[in-house]
């Protein structure tokens, strides 16, 4: 009896990609959860300069000036002291009971941020919700 020897075809290796994809998704989720997003807090900011329209003369404005050392003036009248309460009372007097007046904050470019925040807080306490900021127009060729 003759023996029939058949040569077997070698089986092609089969790559199962599902476990590979599972592992990659777990690694991706781990990296997303463990990554910290750093904030860039060391940006140099030079304020205020803006390309804005020329300021219009509006009689309903209260101009609050903030000097570089944190002193305040309301409509060119110096405010004694630097507290929010004193500034709020001066704003209330300048508004004369009207709450539709616009508070224009004219702060020095090197004024402390806290001084500007104090003006905003004083305007809120004086019930003057309309607030805007004054800026000078940047000159062509300014290295800002």
How many domains does the structure of the chain reveal? 1
Average pLDDT over residues 89-97: 84
The answer to whether residue 3 is domain-embedded is no
Helices and strands in the chain, H and E counts: 3, 5
Q: Is 77 domain-assigned?
A: yes
How confident is the prediction for the chain on average, in pLDDT? 76
Q: What is the pLDDT of residue 42?
A: 42
* 134 and 50 Cβ atoms separated by less than 8 Å: no
Please compute the mean of the pLDDT values over residues 101-127 and round it to a whole number. 85
Half-sphere exposure of 107 (CA within 13 A, CB side): 22
Answer yes or no: pTM beyond 0.85: no
CATH number, domain at 129?
A: 3.30.420.270
Q: Is residue 4 part of a domain?
A: no
Determine the Cα angle at 63 with ends 83 and 132, to 5°: 95
Report if residue 16 sits inside a domain: no
Q: Domain of 80?
A: 61-133
**Does residue 119 lie within any of the structural domains?**
yes
Residue 67 included in any domain: yes
In a domain, 53, yes or no: no
């Amino acid at each position: 009896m003759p023996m029939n020897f058949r040569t077997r075809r070698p089986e092609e290796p089969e790559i199962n990609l599902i476990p590979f994809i599972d592992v990659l998704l777990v690694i991706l989720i781990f990296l997303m959860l463990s990554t910290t997003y750093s904030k860039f807090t060391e940006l140099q900011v030079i304020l205020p300069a803006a390309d804005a329209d020329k300021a219009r003369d509006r009689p309903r404005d209260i101009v609050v000036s903030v000097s570089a050392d944190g002193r305040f003036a309301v409509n060119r009248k110096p405010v004694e002291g630097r507290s929010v309460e004193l500034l709020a009372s001066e704003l209330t007097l300048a508004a004369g009971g009207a709450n539709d007046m616009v508070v224009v904050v004219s702060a020095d470019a090197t004024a402390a941020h806290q001084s500007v925040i104090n003006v905003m807080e004083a305007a809120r306490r004086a019930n003057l919700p309309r607030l805007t900021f004054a800026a000078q127009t940047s000159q062509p060729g300014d290295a800002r």
